[in-house]
Amino acid sequence: MRKIIYWVHTSVDGFIDGPNGEFDWPVMGPELSAYSEGLDEGVDTLLFGRPVWEMMVGFWPNAESIADDPHTASFAPFWRATPKIVFSRTYKGDDWTSRVIGDDLAGQVAELKAQDGGTMLLTGGASLAAALTEHGLIDEYHVAVHPVVLGGGRRLFAEPADRKRLRLVNSRAVDGQVVVNHYTLAE
């Protein structure tokens, strides 16, 4: 059975972007970059909700010409080479999209998890992560808490229907400022 890892950056006050959708506040230092790259090991599919996809596809295809830093240099080739699934009811896909899933979220994702293959990595987003969490389809949560208070934006998890208990697997500070918490669903 394949697993899904959710990797997300959040502010101390629990937002994944700022009040105007800005995502200019995460700082990818060397330790956080190494942690992120470690999550990529064994990943053979990337998962995105449409809002995050639009941000990603606007940057990663030509990332090295936009940003000159070690994290970008390492992740961009991986991003381009890895199959990508976008979840949207209205988006039809583009040259970088391997597949679009628009309906029967729980059934389609359960089917993906039952297939042979490596780990699937869900990067960022709130609505898709919340929906997959509601269906018990995320196996691991890796939450990087950055030392910033945004005061608004999209919450880490969109309004959950029910309380979900998580079990802390590990917590560590990286780059002297970001706390990365690794959770699984509590049994």
- Domain limits of the chain? 4-185
The structure tokens 């729980």 sit at: 106
Sheet strands (E) in 82-186:
84-87, 99-101, 119-123, 140-146, 166-174, 178-185
Torsion over CA: 98, 104, 105, 107 (sign): negative
Residue type, 85: I
Angle between helices 70-81 and 30-40 (to 10 degrees): 20
pLDDT of residue 157: 82
pLDDT of residue 71: 85
Query: Counting Cβ atoms within 10 Å, is residue 146 exposed (0-12), middle (13-18) or buried (19+)?
Result: middle
pLDDT of residue 126: 86
pLDDT of residue 68: 84
- pTM as predicted: 0.93
pLDDT of residue 149: 97
Q: Which residues pair with 180 in a beta bridge?
A: 144, 172
Nearest to 88 by CA among 118, 59, 47: 47
Q: CA-to-CA distance for 1 and 3, rounded, in angstroms?
A: 7
pLDDT by position in tens, the chain (length 187): 999 999 999 999 999 999 998 999 999 999 999 999 999 999 999 999 998 999 899 998 888 888 888 888 889 999 999 999 999 999 999 999 999 999 999 999 999 999 999 999 999 778 899 999 989 999 999 999 999 999 999 999 877 778 888 999 999 999 999 999 999 988 7
4-185 maps to which CATH number?
A: 3.40.430.10
Q: Which residues pair with 120 in a beta bridge?
A: 4, 45
Non-local CB neighbours of 58 within 8 Å, separated by 6+ positions: none
pLDDT of residue 74: 87
